[in-house]
Amino acid sequence: MDDIVRQAMDKWPNVPDCYGWLGLDSRGQWWMRDDKAQAQGYFQSGVQGAKGSLLRHEKLIDFIHRNYETDTQGCWYFQNGPQRVYVELEATPHVWRLSDDFEVRSQTGSEVKAESCLLDETGRVYLTTSNGLGLVHTLDVGRLANALDLGLWTLTNCVSNELPKLYGYVTSPQMNKLTQEHA
């Protein structure tokens, strides 16, 4: 986390959390979700316009990457100064990219060590790592197949809707909060 973010948190400790305004898609891209996008539906809904606007500002994306973390409930967020901006996940909290020599990196750029490989009922492939579960980027599935052929990882079948509970992450912090408020 950036020092300037820590300082802002100390200076303004009671800033309310933000829900529904930021999303991470299954290709590791960030989406800004204004009121209009949120009115279309949830990020994961597949409804046209619900994702919002693709972020393209490299410095903002780098700032998000440096300050992307998880809370104790498995909700992922971006610490934006004193405000915690919870992230809607299309699939998983990480999207892994594989290099030609099978190094694994998160969409944030951090290198991780893959521990196991999962294949869901729709053909999507995931890697478990010390940093948690992530979806393998679609452009890297060929590299993953080569790694499997070389015996670097063993493929295990999984069911996609069971992954959040098994790996301790929440795809929609906004829905999670609403559920808790109405419980």
Contacts of 168 (CB under 8 A, 6+ apart): 74, 132
Q: What is the mean pLDDT of residues 126-146?
A: 96
Residue 49 region, left (φ>0) first, then alpha (ψ -120 to 50), else beta? Answer: left
Under DSSP, the state recorded for 109 is: S
**Beta-ladder partners of 23:** 31, 88
Given a contact cutoff of 8 angstroms between Cβ atoms, the answer to whether 179 and 170 are in contact is no
pLDDT tens-digit readout, 19-64: 999 999 999 999 999 999 999 999 999 999 999 999 999 999 999 9
Q: Does residue 150 sit in helix, strand or coil? A: coil
pLDDT (tens digit, 9 = 90+) per residue, 55-84? 999 999 999 999 999 999 999 999 988 889
Q: If you average pLDDT over every residue of the chain, what do you get?
A: 92
Integer angstrom CA distances of residue 107 from 24, 26, 139, 179: 10, 10, 13, 29
> Residue 46: is it exposed, middle or buried by C-beta count within 10 angstroms (0-12/13-18/19+)?
exposed
Confidence grade of residue 130 (pLDDT, cut at 50, 70, 90): confident
What structural domains does the chain harbor?
3-91+169-181 (3.10.540), 94-167 (no CATH)
CA gap 151, 172 in Å, rounded: 35
